Amino acid sequence: MKQIRLVVKQLRDSINEHNYRYHVQANPTISDTEFDVLFKKLQEIERAHPELITRDSPTQRVGAKPLKEFAEVRHDIPMLSLDNGFTDSDVLAFDQRVHDRLAISGEIEYVCEPKLDGLAVSIRYEQGQLVCAATRGDGMSGEDVTENIRTIPTVPLHLRGNFFPAVLEVRGEVYMPKKGFLELNTRAEAKGEKQFVNPRNAAAGSLRQLDSRITASRPLAIFFYGIGVVEGMTLPDTHYETLLFIKELGCLINHEIQVVKGINQCLAYYEKLGQRRITLPYEIDGVVYKVNSFKQQTTLGFVSRAPRWALAHKFPAEEIQTIITDVEFQVGRTGALTPVARLRPVFVGGATISNATLHNMDEVKRKDIHIGDRVLVRRAGDVIPEVVSVITKNRPKNIKAIQLPIHCPVCHAKIEQIKGEAIARCTSGLFCPAQRKEAIKHFASRRAMDIEGLGDKLVDQLVDQHLVTTLADLYSLTFTQLAGLERMAEKSAQNMLDALEKSKTSTFSRFLYSLGIREVGEATAKQLAMHFDHLSDLYKVTEEELQTIPDIGPIVAKHITSFFSDKHNRSVIDKLIASGIVLQKNKKDRQLLPFIGKTFVLTGTLQSLTRLEAKEKLENLGAKVAGSVSNKTHFVVAGEDAGSKLKKAEELNIPILNESAFLAMLSGQY
């Protein structure tokens, strides 16, 4: 057995080395046939001795049994977005900002990289072995796609060599090569299956399969572009040297990456790569510039969710002419109406398109768009096609004006457009089928009615199978109906019924929040619950009465009265109460909302919580969080790298809270 273990180790080491030479160095030293012989020999030994199979064996890329859902993975270091630049002027302005912040005058060293059109992931190695992989998600947390990542041939299951950090998190872009994309769609067409629109969609759809065996059958690849967490080793001083280091560990980096001196060389790189773009074996939608020095990156820091030391220089969008044959209005999940142009089909941006967004009626008027117009349409990468402009020369005489409908095209409720707002909306949030799923998900969320187990997939099934048409139908669901749903065994069905029954006991404020009234968050819902004794009071409340409540202005008041004046919404609410929901009245105690009437402004980066989390905590305590400092501001919360807002607060003598003082205030100890 000792001899067999030695043979297995030698085979794995040899296969891993040849994989590295083939994928990373692009310099294979054996033929494909010779490689297949080694691989087959290892498979045969592992089949005969399954006790010798390890997770990092090169044979273990075939995929595992399907998951029920993806687990959430919190990123220890956030996966940030990049600011975009579209013109040379944008790039020069970026370079000037870098110079100003670093207070230097010489040319800065940048790393230029192709911006792949794929899906960002983070892969964690411990003691050299792959232990976890996650999608970018919202930047703070993503989905656990470890089993799927393991199936990609260019992802090392174990880092190469013996000299690597105890913990290393590498970040990269999963993509589908053009050749693989064409082959995938050819197979799908032969089977009569749906084809993917573009390689990015194909890559994203493949990586997010619950059955990793499907992912294993898809031609995915990856380029690594950076690092996250590092423990147990000091890495090089520059971004480029770090890329070369992870390449030595077996992580494939893009062959087009270059170090340049000064922003003019960045622009030259952009021009040359743009000319060669069509010949590359993968899709790119621009170039990324990164300050090479880690020390300079640290000095530059971050703003919001993007680093100040990097910029994505996007390629121009492709544009083409066509004719608008009609316009329809789509109702989004929040009730927003979007005019959509029906087009004479054209091929643009890698796909045939027959629809394009017109955004809103203000845009329609600004661009003077009519039905029958010849227009210029733009589509870039995965962006929804849009009408850029109208070609007015030789304009047809039979063009027709585009009119905003008076009633919702889905549920026929009244359309509301607040003065000063570009977006028109359907007012029937609880009844409109277009808003149904989103309304149910919000209603069931933890801070609303807290219906445990009523997640997205179950909501989709309930609505798609017409078991739930309004929120009130949730409380009429039967054991038989639930048990008959996909992945809902008898125990799960009973747990769901128990959760629904438990949710019937709630508070007035949580119930108001659960209804999803526009701009009525938890803080506003608590204020309404304090000022009104019964739901029926809100059926007849006026905008003027509402505006006497702190922080409820004319726009929010209009949203509230429009919501409760809709007969469909009132009908759903009455049915909810009739189903047995008991609302406990909050005590009229201002201590529940100690910050009522106070306006806060957040600036800089907080270490213990995100800007969004801080905003939510303040609003839950009754505060208003504004985006700019004025004489009406009561407190400014200043984190690291606070900017102009801090300076203005000092000029206006507004109280400034550092992070510790802010946290103390939240806990009532300030």
Question: Which residues are marked as active site?
Answer: 115
DSSP-based three-state secondary structure for 24: helix
* CA atoms of 18 and 625, how far apart (whole Å): 57
Total count of residues recorded for the chain: 670
Q: Please name the helix (run of DSSP H) or strand (run of DSSP E) that holds residue 72, with its range, or none.
A: strand 72-74
Q: Of the candidates 520, 510, 521, which has an alpha carbon nearest to the alpha carbon of residue 450?
A: 510
By the 8 A CB rule, do 142 and 73 touch? Answer: yes
User: What residues contact 79, with CB distance under 8 A and at least 6 apart?
Assistant: 120, 122, 136, 137, 139, 142, 171, 228
Residue 225 has φ and ψ, to the nearest 5°, of -130, 0
Q: Of the candidates 280, 243, 306, which has an alpha carbon nearest to the alpha carbon of residue 24?
A: 243
* CA atoms of 571 and 425, how far apart (whole Å): 20
* CA atoms of 138 and 77, how far apart (whole Å): 12
By the 8 A CB rule, do 349 and 393 touch? Answer: no
DSSP-based three-state secondary structure for 559: helix
* CA atoms of 493 and 453, how far apart (whole Å): 10
By the 8 A CB rule, do 390 and 322 touch? Answer: no
- Report the 10 Å Cβ neighbour count for 27: 8
User: What residues contact 17, with CB distance under 8 A and at least 6 apart?
Assistant: 160
By the 8 A CB rule, do 417 and 399 touch? Answer: no
| Burial environment of residue 565 by CB neighbours within 10 A (0 to 12, 13 to 18, 19 or more) | middle
User: What residues contact 326, with CB distance under 8 A and at least 6 apart?
Assistant: 341, 342, 371
DSSP-based three-state secondary structure for 425: strand
* CA atoms of 89 and 538, how far apart (whole Å): 53
